[in-house]
Amino acid sequence: MAILNKAQAEQLLKKVLAFSKADECEINLSGSEGGNIRYARNAVSTSGGISRSSLVVSSAYGKKLGVATINEFDDASLEKVVRRSEELAKLAPENPEFMSFLGPQQYKESATYVPATAAIDPKLRADAVATSLKIAKENKLTAAGFMENSAGFSAMMNSHGLFAYNTITSVDFNVTLRTEDGKGSGYASKSYNDVSKLNVDTLTKIAASKAAGSAAAKALEPGKYTVILEPAASVVLLENLFFAMDARQADEGRSFLSKPGGKTKLGEKLVDDKVTIYSDPQHPEMPTSTWSGDGRPQERMNWINKGVVENLYFSRYWANKKNAKPIPSPDGIIMEGTDASLEDLIKGTEKGILVTRLWYIRSVDPQTLLLTGLTRDGTFYIENGKIKHPVKNFRFNESPVIMLNNLDALGKPERCVSGESGLSALIPPMRIRDFTFSSLSDAV
């Protein structure tokens, strides 16, 4: 579907809403156009273009809700989808947790759409890959990588007068370079709304440098080490903490934030006081949508402030039950840091390990948030402020809660993207004491 502008989306949604006979009706509309290219073994492998759209109609009678969807947009189809959702609502049992749809909301303008990103075509993607491959071949390395771009819109309207509209663009690039003998590997990744910020040349050179530098790794004994985590490594640990900050789970006693007797750690010191984590849809370095999918406005929100758990996110139902503010879960995380560079952190380290990427992160124990996973694509031993040599990869078993209590130093935040979930974040490099590596891996 073509990307509808605000007026076109509003007109289409009004037309759908006019068919409604239910007590309440809410409609979500979205569409996108995008493309991708993939390469490996120093050659392009697969690529494609994807076009999709969706219209979702929710109708409610009292606390009974019905939902139906269609992706055809002629008048008969639009009326059909509304009638179908109404029929389903009439069949539904009452849901005691149903919340009446929201009334009109105020949203700030979001800065998530960049025309240059929307204009990316197959040629631009192929040219970017050609740039990356040239660097790989010049350095006698083997490249595998991926670039993907998308442009789309989302809109919603309901019978209480709520209307929301947003457009968003995104471009993702990530690349792995490996030495020809398979003994060295390096990685770089970025995700932006604005393609002008993406520098394929620089990213490929970073990956090339890590690949060449990580060959001939030496084995260190597993155990507790001071580590410096680059942002691409720490984001996959922090996001697990962040994804678990749901108020209901905590109140119900089945979260790392639960305490005996139905109490929670909300308002309590959880981690080192250097830790401040927040979200801000208007952040110039990482704009995200100013409204959530159910129409709630997304605002700047502190989650952990100077080590104290300041807010949890609530469903509308749970917030109502607990008489709390219904804070939605946000689209990106931001952690405060300092002006120190990664090099500064390395310089200040007597003995430690630089971790550039972590992989295959899984929860081991939700009560303690213990996670396991491995280092990957460049792990280095630091001695007396300098990188001495690459080391073999480790498996770790560590909780981000314990890790953030052992926080030693922070650097300057930078934009990164989770290799596990795709979540965007603005996170500083961090130095952690006593990080637990439990075994060695032969993987490169």
Partner 1 sequence: MKRRDFLYLSGLTAGAGLIGPAKLLAAEDLLQPADLALKKRLADIALNAATSKGASYVDVRIGRYLNQSINTREKRVDNIANTESYGMGIRVIANGSWGFASTDNMTPDSIAKTAALAVQIAKFNAPLLEEPLKLAPQKGYGQVSWKTPILQNAFDVPLKDKVDLLLQANDIALQSGVNFVNSSLFCINEQKYFASTEGSYIDQDIHRIWPTFTVTKIEAGSGKFQTRNALSSPMGMGYEYLIPDKKEEIDGIFKLYRNRYDILADMRLASAQVAEKIKARPVEPGKYDLILDPTNLFLTIHESVGHPTELDRVLGYEANYAGTSFLTLDKWKAGNFKFGSEIVHFKGDKTQKGSLGAVGYDDEGVQCGEWDIIKNGVLVNYQVTRDQAHMLGLNASQGCSYADNWKNFQFQRMPNVSLQPNKEGLKVADMIKNTEKGIYMFGRNSYSIDQQRYNFQFSGQLAFEIKNGQIAGLVKDAAYQANTQEFWNACSAIAGEQDYRLGGSFFDGKGQPGQVSAVSHGCSTTKFKGVSIINTGRNI
Q: Residue 104 has what DSSP assignment?
A: -
Among the listed residues 147, 173, 149, 129, the one whose alpha carbon sits nearest the alpha carbon of residue 41: 129
Q: Does 139 sit near partner 1 (CB under 8 A)?
A: no
Note the residue count of the chain: 444
Q: Which is nearer to partner 1, 256 or 313 (CB)?
A: 256
CA atoms within 13 A on the CB side of 412: 6
Contact between residue 211 and residue 179 where contact means Cβ atoms under 8 Å apart: yes
Nearest CB to partner 1, comparing residues 117 and 234: 117
Among 6, 14, 140, 254, which residue interacts with partner 1 (rule: CB under 8 A)? 254
**Does 48 help bind partner 1 (rule: CB under 8 A)?**
yes
Output the CA torsion sign for 436, 278, 416, 414: negative
Rule CB under 8 A: is residue 199 a binding residue for partner 1? no
Binding to partner 1, residues 269-308 (CB under 8 A): 289, 291-295, 298
111 binds partner 1 (CB under 8 A): no
Q: State yes or no: residue 356 binds partner 1 (CB under 8 A).
A: no
Q: Which is nearer to partner 1, 349 or 436 (CB)?
A: 436
CB closer to partner 1 out of 177 and 427 = 177
H runs (alpha helix) in 19-99: 75-91
* Smallest gap from residue 399 Cβ to partner 1 (A): 6
Alpha carbons 71 and 54: distance in angstroms, whole number = 5
Per CB under 8 A, 407 contacts partner 1? no
**In the complex, minimum distance from the CB of residue 107 to partner 1, in angstroms, rounded to a whole number:** 10
Nearer to partner 1, 18 or 443 (CB): 443
Subset of 322-341 contacting partner 1 (CB under 8 A)? 331
Contact between 95 and partner 1 (CB under 8 A)?
Answer: yes
Q: Is residue 399 at the binding interface for partner 1, with CB under 8 A as the rule?
A: yes
> From the list 20, 139, 176, 179, which residue makes contact with partner 1 (rule: CB under 8 A)?
176
Tell me which stretch binds partner 1 (CB under 8 A): 165-173, 194-202, 305-313, 346-354: 165-173
Q: Would you list the DSSP string of 219-261?
A: P---EEEEEEE-HHHHHHHHHHHHHT-BHHHHHTT-STTEEGG
Distance CA 438, CA 22 (A): 58
Q: Compute φ and ψ for 262, nearest 5 degrees.
A: 80, 5
Phi/psi for 391 (5° steps) reads -125, 155
How far is Cα 90 from Cα 22, in angstroms, rounded to an integer? 9
Among 117, 142, 193, 356, which residue sits at the site for partner 1 (rule: CB under 8 A)?
142
Query: Binding string, 365-384, against partner 1, x = CB under 8 A?
Result: x-xxxx-xxx-x--------
Name the residue nearer to partner 1 (CB basis): 262 or 388: 262
